[in-house]
Amino acid sequence: MIYEDYYIFTPGPVKMSDEILEIGAKQTPYFRNSKFSEVIFNCEKGLLEIVNAPKGSRVIFLTASGTAGMEAAIINLLNRDDKALVVNGGGFGQRFVDICATHSIPHRDFRVEDTDLTNIEELAPKANFTSLVVNGHETSIGQLYNLNAMGEYVRKHNLFFIVDAISMLITDPIDMSAQNIDVIIASSQKGLALPPGLTMVILSPEAIDRVRDIDNLYFNFKDYLKNGERGQTPYTPAVTIILQLEARLAQIKRRGGVKESIKRAKEIAEYFRASIKDLPLKFYTSYMPNAMTTLTPTDGKRAIDIVNSLEKEYKIMVCPNGGDLRDVIFRVSHMGEMTKSYVDVLIDAMFNFYKIARR
Ligand SMILES: *Cc1c(COP(=O)(O)O)cnc(C)c1O
């Protein structure tokens, strides 16, 4: 099968565990019954725990990719009376800007470069915003923002806070209560290490109050909230991925909880970064998440050539960038079922590529 025997270091889909893969091989069950409602309730409870959601928070399960979660959150929770401050540090920040523009939500395109926004108070444009929108980890370049600082900022200015945490859940810390976050967007195929196709929007009680009537059928949160009361979704959900999510949440718990998962991701990231320090590569940003390392060649080689060589000669998938950054950076994900010996395959291949002996 295509790519089945490849080593996977792409930021979604990521390497999945055998336990989760086995569920994917089974017959998909019927779902309009109390047995499946139980599964949905378990998933909701588990997700709320992982992000430390305030009491009364709820989860909306959408059968779609992560971008649908971003768009659905914006259209259900912001309107033309809002003024959103949208952090734009790369491709995913730009996507939020495009979503706001598409739906005529007043917004400011807050372009940032080489900062984790610890000093957002000084950097942010001065205007009367009603909300702050950010991708906690800007996956296009591997940039992690300081959610503690942003949480302080939204508290001080009384802003509604939407965080796309798709590529930081389970690998990097996020705390909905402590960081004053109203909405978290999650997706199946990144740190959660499930197949793509399920996106989840976690709503605080304030966010639930804010859900408005919209001109949209499929993404109408009111329908999802109502159906969710009995553990159901308005339309056929990604049943198998939801079963896999339930198992994955149990797996995370069994392995010591989300803190332990974050610790392991950090260890893997640090192991990788320390192991390649003799190679002519440097880190693209100083604000790296545990989820990913973004690298720039320092010897004039083109990033895309490294990516292609790893794929063709070593059956290893790392992630190239498009556009201007194609030759400048490539990305190595640490999300999913990673072990040091699995990462060693990549490290050894990189040393081979450079014809340098690994010490
Ligand atoms: C992967 C990702 C998404 C979702 O992309 P889809 O292709 O729509 O699943 C959104 N935001 C961030 C930060 C991501 O890394």
Q: State how far the Cα of 23 lies from the Cα of 195, in Å rounded to an integer.
A: 11
Going 159 to 160 to 163 to 169, the CA torsion angle's sign is positive
pLDDT in tens, 115-124: 999 999 999 9
pLDDT in tens, 14-57: 999 999 999 999 999 999 999 999 999 999 999 999 999 999 99
User: Bridge partners of 317?
Assistant: 8
Q: Specify the CATH number of the domain 18-254.
A: 3.40.640.10
| Cα–ligand 1 centroid distance for 106 (angstroms) | 23
pLDDT in tens, 70-123: 999 999 999 999 999 999 999 999 999 999 999 999 999 999 999 999 999 999
Instruction: Give me the chain's average pLDDT, please.
Output: 97
DSSP structure class, residue 106: -
End-to-end CA distance of the chain: 35
Burial (CB count <10 Å: 0-12, 13-18, 19+), residue 271: middle
Q: Which of 79, 155, 145, 88 is nearest to 117 (CA)?
A: 145
Q: What is the pLDDT of residue 2?
A: 67
Residue 178: φ, ψ to 5° = -70, -30
Q: At what angle do helices 258-275 and 340-354 cross, to 10 degrees?
A: 20
Q: Which of 99, 187, 79, 100 is nearest to 136 (CA)?
A: 187
For a mutational test of ligand 1's pocket, the pick from 14, 62, 65, i.e. the residue with the most ligand atoms closer than 8 A to its C-beta, is: 65
Residue 185: φ, ψ to 5° = -105, 130
pTM of the model: 0.98
Buried b (16+ CB within 10 A) or exposed e, 107-135: bbbbebeebbbeebeeebeeeebbbbbbb
Q: Cβ < 6 Å from ligand 1: which residues? A: 12, 65-67, 70, 92, 135, 139, 164, 166-167, 187, 190
**Please, are residues 288 and 268 in contact by the beta-carbon 8 Å criterion?**
no
Q: What is the pLDDT of residue 87?
A: 98
Confidence of residue 166 (pLDDT cuts 50, 70, 90): very high
Q: State how far the Cα of 58 lies from the Cα of 39, in Å rounded to an integer.
A: 15
pLDDT in tens, 261-285: 999 999 999 999 999 999 999 999 9
Q: Say which amino acid occupies 117.
A: L
| Cα–ligand 1 centroid distance for 21 (angstroms) | 22
The beta strand positions in the chain, using DSSP E, are 7-8, 58-63, 84-88, 107-111, 131-135, 137-138, 143-144, 160-164, 183-187, 198-203, 281-283, 292-297, 316-317, 319-320, 330-333
Q: Which CATH architecture has domain 7-13+258-354?
A: Alpha-Beta Complex (3.90)
What are the domain boundaries of the chain? 7-13+258-354, 18-254
Ligand 1 atom 3: residue of nearest CA: 66
For a mutational test of ligand 1's pocket, the pick from 94, 172, 187, 319, i.e. the residue with the most ligand atoms closer than 8 A to its C-beta, is: 187
Peptide bond before residue 29 is cis, with ω within 30 degrees of 0: no
